[in-house]
Structure 1
Amino acid sequence: MILILKNRATDDQIDHVLQRVEALGLQHHLSRGTYRTIVGIIGDEELLREEPLKAIPGVAKVVPVLPPYKLASRDAHPDPSVVDVSGVKIGGGNLGMIAGPCSVEDPDRMHRIAEHVRASGANLFRGGAFKPRTSPYAFQGMGIDGLKLLREVGDQHGMPVVTEVTDPRLVEVVSEYADMLQVGARNMQNFALLTEVGKSKRPVLLKRGMAATINDLLMCAEYILSQGNMNVVLCERGIKSFDPATRNLFDVAAVPVVHGLSHLPIIVDPSHATGRPDLIPSCAMAGLAAGADGVHIEVHDCPEEAKSDGPQALLPDQYRELFSQMKSLAELLNKTISPVSETSA
């Protein structure tokens, strides 16, 4: 850790800072420059976590050398993590290809969509049983009945299922039916929810908040990891922007940035990022080219009848064509689209 002192810090203040560091059993290195005086602290930074160093007279700024997300950082885990979702691997060269409608709907439609995306090559099926919506009057999901239907569809078509959990009180029941728990963008900083999914044994798909920095995202992942659940997959789904041309700003650079900072896998969601089916293929390919560990795409066989987010869904034939392109790119990048485990069928 480095302490940057104020320009006019007195000798007494500097001495006091050094004494506080020594009192913690740490070593220090004092460097006096023309405009700044810097104190380098040598030792275990964990001893300093609870110390209000910035409150010491004369201290202008405290700069940690190590990231605050200890468990999520590459310092703690240099090799990329591989998350196993009921046999489907994500990370370390394995791609998780998630597809399905935004919301769980009627059984016939769910089975038709699952059949299409499974035949195209998707290895994880998604659908929301609980839907946090901007408007309280919008469709909020089918709830428990939706979970049961999603499980039935996943089992019949041999696909692990991903669904969102919106409330800490729902974690246990959602875990009974889902192979992977999704924490949506609106709940990324719901720390009570993060703690509960961290206590669960299910893999977690953590979406980046609409106004969250990459550091925010990794700190939220740390909440889950700190509870003993190391099976976390991050998702770049677009962030707020001033430009109305797309639903959100697709921050494709977040993928290599996260890989440089963390061992956790990260996938991209061009459906929510763009909100435009015509842009989904190019953004999906861009995400894979940037190093994403998978792609999350909404698919619906009749978008105009969708309960939610129909305008951003691909038709099954469009998804099949895109998947063929993504598969070719994956081969070029020496990535493997993780096959669905035979035990899932």
Structure 2
Amino acid sequence: MIIILKPATAAAMQAKLIAEFGTSHEIFTHANRIAIQGLTPAQLPTDVRAASTDVLTDVPAAVQSSRLFHPEDTIIRTPHSVIGGNHFVMMAGPCSVESAGHVERMAEVAKQGGATVVRGGAFKPRTSPYSFQGLGEEGLRDLRAAADQNDLDMITEVMDDEHVAMVAQYTDIFQIGARNMQNFSLLKAVGRTQIPVALKRGMSATIDDVLNAAEYIAAGGNHQIMLLERGIRTFDNKYTRNTFDLGAVPVLQELTHYPVIVDPSHAVGTWELVTPMAMAGVAAGASGMIVEIHDDPTHALSDGPQALKPKTYLKMAKQAFQLHDLVQSWA
């Protein structure tokens, strides 16, 4: 149940409800709203009902992630980026950090295209155990150096809760990969930090699954969450790596206050299709995108076929920002 209180007495009524029900129910407060798990309207004190403008009983399990509880957009601020609301953030870089020199060159290209965040994997979850697994902490150092040299933020994947403390020393944004979306111990671990988290939708995850995964992070006290749509697995992957669920963008924006970022690279898996799907994501209203770039995709250590060459990336990025401005002008 979510109670919308009259602003003038909201603080007093919240304190009263916490004192009365806080030991027996989960309670969350936001501005003039209070959510109480397991309570019914009939149990509300008379003065609280009189001090409220509405009582919502059809409340999702992911309460803190819900726009019913938190109506305004969450805006995430990092040293070089503003993520959410009407802002548009570009994140770009290689799939994997391959060397200090290479990631430095790709960070320069990313920035030329308007990116404020450089991406790169230091720990890579691969389908085959014999594929390149990443450079580990050396890769984190290289990506951090490339980001700092170009005045960019850094996003990188953290694969398990044991790595959270180490990755936290380097990154500005944790990325939770699709395979780890329901790794609840990892979600709890990043939830105990105050570092922004980019949560990727699992390849077979429903919208509710994503929101409940985000709730694990929020329950730990970290509300700097963004959701990444990267395509889902359906019955046909002959022509694209996954099915890019563009409808998830406006649906998530209606259900939650967290920024929604699109990942066309992983969605389609083929560089020729990345630009049209990137444009589709912008047109759908995404708050940003994350794309993979590489100057020699044929020899990339991971996911070369979906990486954009610098010239293609720069053209795509320019179009993306122009389209975002056009979409905003219609609002």
TM-score above 0.5, yes or no: yes
Deviations 1:164-194 (A, max 9, x none): 0001010011010000000000000000000
| Structure 1 partner of 2:213 | 220
Counterpart Cα distance in 1 of 2:63 and 2:187: 16
Counterpart Cα distance in 1 of 2:256 and 2:211: 8
Counterpart Cα distance in 2 of 1:190 and 1:97: 27
Is 1:46 the equivalent of 2:49?
no
| Structure 2 partner of 1:125 | 118
> Per the alignment, do residues 71 and 245 of structure 1 end up closer, same or farther by CA in structure 2, a change over 3 Å counting?
same
Counterpart Cα distance in 2 of 1:44 and 1:312: 45
Deviation at 1:87, TM superposition (A): 3.5
Which of 229, 240, 243 is 2:233 aligned to? Answer: 240
| Structure 1 partner of 2:6 | none
Which of 312, 330, 338 is 2:306 aligned to? Answer: 312
Counterpart Cα distance in 2 of 1:102 and 1:45: 41
Give me the CA root mean square deviation. Answer: 1.6
The structure with more radius of gyration: 1
TM-score normalised per structure 2: 0.82
Is 1:147 the equivalent of 2:140?
yes
Q: Secondary structure at the match of 1:278?
A: helix
> Per the alignment, do residues 44 and 140 of structure 1 end up closer, same or farther by CA in structure 2, a change over 3 Å counting?
closer
Number of residue pairs aligned between Structure 1 and Structure 2: 280
Percent of paired sites with the same residue: 49
Deviation at 1:333, TM superposition (A): 2.0
Q: Which runs of structure 2 are paired with 1:202-213 in the superposition (5 Å)? A: 202-213=195-206
Deviation at 1:85, TM superposition (A): 2.3
Which of 190, 193, 201 is 1:200 aligned to? Answer: 193
Q: Secondary structure at the match of 1:163?
A: strand
| Structure 2 partner of 1:30 | none
Higher relative contact order (Cα pairs below 8 Å, separated by 6+ residues):
1
Counterpart Cα distance in 2 of 1:201 and 1:148: 21
> After TM superposition, what 4+ stretches of structure 1 lie above 4 angstroms from structure 2?
none
TM-score normalised per structure 1: 0.79
Aligned partner letter, 1:303: P
Which of 251, 260, 263 is 2:254 aligned to? Answer: 260
Q: Secondary structure at the match of 1:171?
A: helix
Is 1:173 the equivalent of 2:166?
yes
Is 1:108 the equivalent of 2:107?
no
| Structure 2 partner of 1:75 | 68
Counterpart Cα distance in 2 of 1:212 and 1:194: 16
- Structure 1 gaps of 5+ residues are 2-23, 25-42, 49-63, 336-345
- Structure 2 gaps of 5+ residues are 2-23, 25-34, 41-56
